[in-house]
A and B are shown apart, each in its own frame.
Chain A
Amino acid sequence: MSTPALKEWPLWEVFVRSKQGLEHKHCGSLHASDSEHALQMARDVYTRRQEGVSIWVVPSASISASEPNDKPEFFDPASDKVYRHPTFYVIPDEVGHM
């Protein structure tokens, strides 16, 4: 009974991996009082409780995003150096999707 009431619930980002999905995808955000609460809400709001899905919730404050202004030095240098991309190999058919 000693916990002070939260005036505002923090924001959480929700990542869901669907039943056949390979990786978690960001699908939205919600306000919740803690991680367990955020998980339950994400389950209702974003997955409709489908079986076999995995949910990650992350406090929005924990995410560091790259700055749009950083784009030139972050991303552009790679595009003109074709040797950085392993595109010169022929992938054998039996390997399939890679």
Chain B
Amino acid sequence: MNAPIDYLLHLADNALILGQRNAEWCGHGPILEEDIALSNNSLDLIGQARMLYQHAAELQGNGATEDTLAYFRDVPDFKNYTLCELPHMPLMAATSAGDRDFATTIVRNFLYSSLMVLVWDQLQNSKDAQLAAIAAKSLKEVRYHLRHSRDWLVRMGDGTAESHTKAQTALDQFMSYTQEFWTTSPAEAAALATGTGIDMAALQNDWNQIVNEALKEATLQRPAAGGFVPTGKQGLHSEHLGFVLAEMQSLARAHPEATW
């Protein structure tokens, strides 16, 4: 039995967009070793995205490939969490620019990988055998991502007054976006019904525990999540995704028949 295509795309798009975001750090990391760690994280995520796109493309047929799915879909077709597409800086209005903020990147990676260790663990039992195999591989990677981001979260939260403030600001900014994890999209409901997906709401307690323990150790305050629930996984995105895609897809779209 195969998972619904939209469900696979949701998982793939999360990995691709966050991988693209983390790749933006290449050559800009706070130190050489951290530069390598973030690129490594990005490569893992893009690898996960590729496996998921290949699986989805096979199910979709009609000449779809991993490349057509990555490069020739537009904003409303992307099913990633809104959290994954936000820039690496405290939120600002419209097109105003700021510097890359390492704390923002780390907090986002922490919130996402805290979720994905639970998701991939459960998806190892998916009735979609290919998805189960992808989950087993991805779980090993995401455990490392969690360790890396959690470690930095504690270092920054429990570091200097300035690093604490930056980590707290990033957390305040991102926590509302995590509400999207627990609402069920049509694709998730369909996947759950066939036993190829999982019940996300059932992961909430475990996720809270991972997050709360880390925040306590980092001496950070967990902000109350607001009333806003993002809808990225249903294709309704923030204004940021369009810019990410424009940059990511420009070459492929300029030369649509090219091979490389």
Partner of A33, one of B147, B155, B164, B219: B155
Whether A40 sits at the interface, judged by CB under 8 Å, is yes
**Complex: how many Å from CA A41 to CA B39?**
12
| With A40-B148, A49-B144: A1-B164 Cβ-Cβ less than 8 Å | yes
Contact A40 B160 (CB under 8 A): no
| With A1-B219, A40-B148, A40-B151: A45-B36 Cβ-Cβ less than 8 Å | yes
**Complex: how many Å from CA A87 to CA B31?**
50
Q: How many chain B residues touch the partner (CB < 8 A)? A: 18
State the Cβ distance, A74 to closest chain B Cβ, in Å: 35
Q: How many chain A residues touch the partner (CB < 8 A)? A: 16
Q: Which residues of A contact B158 (CB under 8 A)?
A: 1, 3
Whether A55 sits at the interface, judged by CB under 8 Å, is no
Give a binary string over B28-47; 1 marks a CB under 8 Å from any A CB, 0 the rest.
00010110110010000000
Partner of A1, one of B33, B147, B151, B160: B160
**Complex: how many Å from CA A42 to CA B36?**
10
Contact B37 A5 (CB under 8 A): no
**Complex: how many Å from CA A4 to CA B160?**
7
Contact B40 A1 (CB under 8 A): no
State the Cβ distance, A35 to closest chain B Cβ, in Å: 12
Give a binary string over B203-232; 1 marks a CB under 8 Å from any A CB, 0 the rest.
000000000000000010000000000000
Among A1, A3, A5, A32, the one with the most B-chain Cβ atoms within 10 Å of its Cβ is A1
Interface set of B (CB-CB < 8 Å, partner A): 31, 33-34, 36-37, 40, 144, 147-148, 151, 155, 158-161, 163-164, 219
* Known A1-B219, A5-B159; further 16 A-B contacts with Cβ < 8 A: A1-B161, A1-B164, A3-B159, A4-B160, A5-B160, A5-B163, A30-B33, A31-B31, A32-B33, A36-B151, A37-B151, A37-B155, A40-B147, A41-B33, A44-B40, A45-B36
Interface set of A (CB-CB < 8 Å, partner B): 1, 3-5, 9, 30-33, 36-37, 40-41, 44-45, 49
